[in-house]
Amino acid sequence: MELLENYWLYFLVGQFPNGPLGGLALTILLGAGALLLAMPLGVLLGLARVSHSRWLRWPVTALVYVVRGTPLLMVVFWAYFFLPSLTGQKTGQFATMLAALVIFNGAYLAEIVRAGIQGVPRGQWESAQSLGLRYVSTMRRVILPQALRNMLPSLVNQFVTTLKETSLGYIIGLSEVSFIASQINNQVLTQPLAIYGIAALTYFLICFGLSRLSYSLEARLNA
């Protein structure tokens, strides 16, 4: 308990306000940012995946295959070394990790979106078409609302995964929960079990909350 007393603030916000924000706050910020950016990207990529235009479909299909065939760790390294050479200036660790997570999860979400869209019965397309609705209206008003509802369980799965993936920020020195935990462990030395236990519990609680939230959303949608 002495552990909690001494390090709770460091665990929650890192060196903030005397240094960069870190800890749990950073993990949540990174996770939320990644979800908020990856979701629209995923929908756009998913739409491209089912597009009739091969100029949209092919590059996105390639991206999805590349990302799916690469460990996230490689994407993180890539973002870390490649982004600076692309932009000409040093990219912060947070931006690097965010970029990696958004691209990685955008591609995975694209596949969920694609499956969701293709899971909507053909008759829905046909009746929308026979009413003279244009492609965009059909997608927005008829297909996507039904597709998103069907996708919800897979989406939550991906969101939870994304949140846990923020821990890979450790590898590029981003002071999120895992990094802070190892820092604390380095100082305390004698209580790794408790320290990493608390870190694990923290992840669990966030993911559990996310799951519960989505279940209640699902229940409301099905009501």
Partner 1 sequence: MIEFRGVNKYFGKLHALADVNETIARGEVVVVCGPSGSGKSTLIRTINRLEPIDSGQILLDGRDIHSRGLDVDRFRAGIGFVFQQFNLFPHLRVIDNCTLAPIHLGRLSPAEARDQALELLERVGLADKAQAFPRELSGGQQQRVAIARALALRPPVMLFDEPTSALDPEMVSEVLLVIRDLAHQGMTMVCVTHEMGFAREVADRMLFMDHGKILERAAPADFFDHPQHPRTQKFLADIRSPFA
Residues that bind partner 1 (CB under 8 A): 121, 123-124, 126-134, 137, 141-142, 145-146, 149
Helices (H), the chain: 2-13, 23-49, 54-68, 72-87, 93-118, 122-130, 135-137, 144-165, 177-188, 192-222
Would you say 72 or 143 has its CB closer to partner 1? 143
Sole residue written with tokens 């450790």: 170
Q: CB of 14 within 8 A of CB of 22? A: yes
Would you say 18 or 130 has its CB closer to partner 1? 130
Nearest-approach distance from CB 116 to partner 1, in angstroms? 13
Sole residue written with tokens 């065939």: 69
Q: CB of 95 within 8 A of CB of 172? A: no
- 58, 62, 142, 148: which is closest to 112 by C-alpha? 148
Nearest-approach distance from CB 131 to partner 1, in angstroms? 4
Would you say 53 or 130 has its CB closer to partner 1? 130
Would you say 109 or 128 has its CB closer to partner 1? 128
Would you say 88 or 132 has its CB closer to partner 1? 132
Q: CB of 94 within 8 A of CB of 22? A: no
Nearest-approach distance from CB 204 to partner 1, in angstroms? 34
Nearest-approach distance from CB 10 to partner 1, in angstroms? 48
CA-angle at 185, arms to 196 and 166, nearest 5°: 55
Nearest-approach distance from CB 132 to partner 1, in angstroms? 3
Neighbours of 139 (CB within 10 A): 18
What count of residues does the chain have? Answer: 223
Nearest-approach distance from CB 130 to partner 1, in angstroms? 4
Would you say 99 or 155 has its CB closer to partner 1? 155
Query: Who contacts 93 (Cβ-Cβ below 8 Å, separation ≥6)?
Result: 169, 172, 173, 174
